[in-house]
């Protein structure tokens, strides 16, 4: 196979999964442990406390679930909503599309607000829907903070402002899979009711842990929400939180120690410095794309993403070919264009465990 001849480390410039720091790999290199021993609950307690700092919440309740981002979506929806509930959901790219598909399959009444791919959520449409909804039929607003397929970051504080302006009680559910711990994210300040991410993104862990955080209002909603849920039921977690043993079922011990090491690294660097590092790498990527004479798929500066850049290629080139060559020649993984933008864009991921030296993508000039 061609790639066997590409020397060097495999560089993951995809927007997740990302490189895992050596300290985290070492922390996970251990035997299994009995999760009912005193050590695991003690470790879990520190994780639950510290993960809240990443979400910037003091009042939220976190759940560390053996799942991926997709399961975290399902946990957010089924714990807070009932079949038939009207929800507003913004379609701006492949991941918001997949979340909407899940919402529809869970039998919610999804009011889809669609944008061209490369644009952000249409908040003017949200404003008019909230203004018209004096009977409060809208039960939730679902939004992907950072659309990983197009490199578009939505402004969450504006969503909160609109909900407040219209005094609308809808729940505010946010996919922060490619933003939390990399792009400024403030669960409490922005009045987010459920926020979620996956371990393989900015936390730079292996895939396998979905992290969901619920506000007191979301927990209250979960008491009456009628969606069927079993594995994802927050009630089971809370029961074990109250017992002080924390786990309704067997956790991955290795991932828990990995999460401890990942959080320690983030706090050592400083969360604000982590966010600033992503800003720098995001800006550097955009400047490089401009210097190559190529266009960013993201249509306006206000939506530029600091974790992923989708680059539009000239129409005579298939972007998948660039991704293939990068992998074959350089052992370098770039993100493919997905769905509507397949063949038209390739994506450069710049999130997680990455610094300027690791992220030397100048070689792309030679592709």
Binding residues, as ranges, are 347
Q: Which residues contact ligand PLP (rule: CB under 6 A)? A: 16, 68-70, 95, 144, 148, 175, 177-178, 198
DSSP three-state, residue 210: strand
> DSSP letter at 336?
P
- 113 close to 89: Cβ distance less than 8 angstroms: yes
Residue closer to ligand PLP by CB (options 91, 144) is 144
Alpha-helical runs (H) found in 90-233: 94-105, 123-132, 156-165, 216-222
- 73 close to 110: Cβ distance less than 8 angstroms: no
Report, in Å, the least distance between residue 137 CB and ligand PLP.
27
* Short-list 248, 256, 210, CA closest to 78: 210
Annotated binding site for substrate: 347
Report, in Å, the least distance between residue 271 CB and ligand PLP.
20
Report, in Å, the least distance between residue 82 CB and ligand PLP.
23
Residue closer to ligand PLP by CB (options 153, 215) is 153
Report, in Å, the least distance between residue 311 CB and ligand PLP.
17
Q: E strands within 154-279?
A: 171-175, 194-198, 210-214
Distance (Å, rounded) from C-alpha 353 to C-alpha 204?
Answer: 6
DSSP three-state, residue 92: coil
Report, in Å, the least distance between residue 148 CB and ligand PLP.
3
Strands 138-144 and 171-175, bridge-based pairing: parallel
CA 158 to chain centre: 19
Report, in Å, the least distance between residue 244 CB and ligand PLP.
30
Region for 108 from its dihedrals, namely left if φ exceeds 0, alpha if ψ lies in -120 to 50, beta otherwise? beta
Residue nearest ligand PLP, CB atom distance: 69
* Short-list 139, 52, 146, 168, CA closest to 99: 146
- 76 close to 103: Cβ distance less than 8 angstroms: no
Distance (Å, rounded) from C-alpha 177 to C-alpha 154?
Answer: 13
Report, in Å, the least distance between residue 16 CB and ligand PLP.
5
Residue closer to ligand PLP by CB (options 177, 214) is 177
Residue closer to ligand PLP by CB (options 43, 178) is 178
């Amino acid at each position: 196979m061609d790639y066997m001849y590409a020397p060097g480390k495999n560089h993951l410039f995809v927007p997740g999964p990302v490189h895992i720091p050596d300290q985290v790999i070492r922390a996970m290199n251990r035997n299994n442990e009995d999760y009912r021993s005193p050590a695991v609950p003690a470790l879990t307690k520190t994780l639950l406390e510290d993960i809240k700092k990443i979400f910037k919440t003091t009042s939220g309740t976190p759940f560390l679930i053996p799942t991926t981002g997709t399961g975290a979506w399902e946990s957010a929806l089924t714990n807070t909503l009932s079949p038939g509930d009207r929800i507003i959901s913004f379609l701006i790219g492949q991941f918001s599309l997949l979340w909407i598909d899940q919402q529809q399959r869970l039998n919610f009444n999804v009011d889809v607000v669609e944008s061209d791919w490369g644009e952000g959520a249409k908040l003017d449409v949200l404003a008019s829907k909230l203004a018209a909804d004096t009977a409060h039929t809208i039960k939730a607003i679902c939004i992907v903070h950072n659309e990983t397929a197009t490199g578009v970051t939505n402004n969450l504080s504006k969503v909160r402002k609109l909900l407040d302006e219209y005094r609308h009680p809808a729940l505010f559910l946010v996919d922060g899979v490619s933003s939390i711990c990399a792009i400024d994210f403030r669960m409490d300040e922005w009045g987010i009711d459920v926020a979620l991410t996956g371990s393989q993104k900015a936390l730079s862990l292996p895939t396998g842990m979905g992290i969901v955080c619920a506000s007191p209002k979301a927990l209250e909603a979960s008491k009456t929400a009628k969606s069927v849920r079993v594995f994802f039921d927050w009630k089971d977690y809370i029961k074990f939180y109250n017992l002080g043993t924390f786990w309704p079922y067997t956790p991955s011990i290795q991932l828990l120690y990995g999460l401890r090491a990942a959080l320690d690294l983030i706090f050592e660097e400083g969360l604000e410095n982590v966010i600033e590092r992503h800003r720098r790498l995001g800006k550097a990527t955009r400047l490089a794309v401009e210097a190559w004479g190529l266009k960013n798929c993201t249509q306006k500066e206000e939506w530029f993403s600091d974790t992923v850049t989708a680059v539009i290629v000239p129409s005579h080139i298939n972007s998948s070919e660039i991704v293939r060559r990068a992998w074959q020649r350089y052992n370098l993984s770039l993100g493919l264009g997905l769905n509507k933008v397949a063949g038209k864009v390739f994506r450069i991921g710049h999130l997680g465990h990455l610094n300027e030296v690791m992220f030397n993508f100048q070689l792309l000039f030679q592709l």
